Amino acid sequence: MARRPFEERLQTSDDLATPYEATRAGFVALALEKNRRATPYVAEARALQVAAGRARSPRGLLKITGIEAGLLTAAGLSDKALNHLLNEDKAEAINGLIKNFRNCSPPPASGHLPRQKRQGREQRERPAWSGGGDA
């Protein structure tokens, strides 16, 4: 009886298992590919950050040329969405971003988030699920 094509390569069920090194290599290759694809977006975000740093107020962002694409991305619009929107829609999205930004409290002058004051064990509230006893 003639052997079927898969029987030339598969003798046992272990032949179907992917070796660790191949799995690891696949995950590393996937991570490197994601990194390669993200590089232009990271560069654009950095350029937007530098340009936005020159603005004296959120409204001042509208006066800076060359950052419209970054502002639209920051507003949450995808490249696909941009193909279906009119210039008025894009302007509305940027204005919405600026409006939301103005409603947020500014970060501390140091650029770091403030740390919460540490509490002693006896001062902390116990979560409702903790049962209340000492562990």
Domain ranges of the chain: 20-104
Residue 15's pLDDT is what?
A: 86
Residue 41's pLDDT is what?
A: 85
Per-residue pLDDT of the chain (135 residues; tens, 9 = 90+): 678 888 888 888 888 899 999 999 999 999 999 999 999 889 888 888 888 888 888 888 888 888 888 899 889 999 899 999 999 999 999 999 888 876 665 555 555 555 555 555 444 454 444 444 444
d(CA 109, CA 112): 8
Helix (H/G/I), strand (E/B), else coil: 108: coil
Amino acid identity of residue 80, one-letter, is K
Task: Give the residue carrying structure tokens 């590393």.
Answer: 28
Residue 110's pLDDT is what?
A: 56
Q: Classify 20-104 by CATH class.
A: mainly alpha
Contact 81, 89 (CB under 8 A): no
- pTM for the model stands at 0.51
